[in-house]
Amino acid sequence: MNTILITGANGNIGSYIAEYYASKGDTLHLLYHKSDERLLKLVNAYPTIHYQTCDLVDLQQVETACAKLREASGSIPEIIIHTSSKRSTDFAEIETSSPELWYEIIKNNLFSVYNLLRVNLPLMKEHDYGRIVLFGSNVSRIGLPKGTAYAVSKAGIVNLVRSVAQELQDYNITINALSPGPIQIDDSHFSEEYREFRKRYYAKELNQIPKKRLAELDDIIHVCDFLTAENSSYISGEEFFVTGGKL
């Protein structure tokens, strides 16, 4: 059994991944920011789950939350799955987009990864073992009109993966990006404006997906299993696309 740190653990993807690994008997360190309704259901069902709230952009909060999780579980994370992300919500072309939102998206999506790795990599190095999966997006290679900040931040994550993989070449630690296309999720908690944006965008994308369907959460889990396996030690610094054949 492994100890797995999952961020964005109250989100659609994060909570699904958490339930999957908890059902296998793994010990989970879950980080979330504000809402915890999905987590409470999991915590009541699985005794191996430990969770803490923190703002991933705040290094001190990340340090404190991770320390509390290690103390509560008596173990350090061997696997990190980072799903937390902030999306573009103004749906504007770059010259009319909000500079404040641009700043918030870049800050949230890049500094959260920096803080997460800064806190946990020393422990992984000390034990000479780790598997890290950072969620990117297919927009890292195709762009996202009227969502440039999000696309830029995801491309930044991918290049961070390539760079850090080289820094870790002397350790049994791998780091890879998992970049899905549109995923079928429950979007009822999103604003009406964002749901309409998703509906239009996904309808357009669906016509270009050879498999003729959106990705399902099980499709994502299978790739996570592959990238976090002990015998995947030769695979690092890569970006894995889950797009149903769309290039």
Q: Does 205 map to a domain?
A: no
What the block records as the tokens of 213 is 């369907």
**Sheet of 27-32: strands edge to edge?**
49-53, 27-32, 3-7, 79-82, 130-135, 173-180, 239-242
Average pLDDT, stretch 6-23?
94
Residue 209 in domain: no
How far apart, in whole angstroms, are the C-alpha atoms of residue 60 and residue 65?
Answer: 9
What does the pLDDT look like over 90-122, one tens digit per residue?
888 999 999 999 999 999 999 999 999 999 999
Judged by average pLDDT, the poorest of 18-22, 185-189, 226-230 is 185-189
In the prediction, which pLDDT does 127 show?
97
User: Of 217 and 214, which is predicted with more confidence?
Assistant: 217
Tell me how far apart the alpha carbons of residues 154 and 141 are, in angstroms, rounded to a whole number: 9
SS3 181: coil
Which of 67-76, 137-146, 167-176 is least confident? Answer: 137-146
Q: What is the pLDDT of the chain when averaged over all its residues?
A: 92
Those residues with Cβ within 8 angstroms of residue 118's Cβ, 6 or more apart along the chain or in another chain: 59, 62
Please state the domain count of the chain: 1
Does a structural domain hold residue 247?
A: no
Q: State how far the Cα of 154 lies from the Cα of 137, in Å rounded to an integer.
A: 6
Of 50-64, 169-183, 184-198, 221-235, which gets the smallest average pLDDT? 184-198
CB-based burial label for 247 (10 Å; 0-12, 13-18, 19+): exposed
**Domain span holding position 114:** 3-186+216-242
Judge whether 148 lies within some domain: yes
pLDDT of residue 189: 62
For the cut 80, the answer to whether the pLDDT of residue 195 exceeds it is no
Considering Cα of 48, then 25, then 175, then 133, what sign does the dihedral take?
A: negative
- For residue 226, the domain's CATH number is 3.40.50.720
Check whether 209 has a pLDDT greater than 70: yes
Q: How far apart are CA 59 and CA 82, in angstroms?
A: 16
| Residue 245 burial (C-beta neighbours within 10 Å; 0-12, 13-18, 19+) | exposed
Cβ contact 242:224 at 8 Å = no
pLDDT reported for residue 190: 63
DSSP reduced 3-state for 225: helix
For residue range 132-156, what is the model confidence (pLDDT) as tens digits?
999 999 999 999 999 999 999 999 9
In a domain? residue 198: no
Instruction: Work out the percent of the chain whose per-residue pLDDT is above 90.
Output: 74
In a domain, 191, yes or no: no
Specify if 204 maps to a domain.
no
Residue 84's alpha-carbon distances to 15, 57, 72, 81, 96, in angstroms, are 11, 11, 22, 9, 26
Residue 202 forms part of a structural domain: no
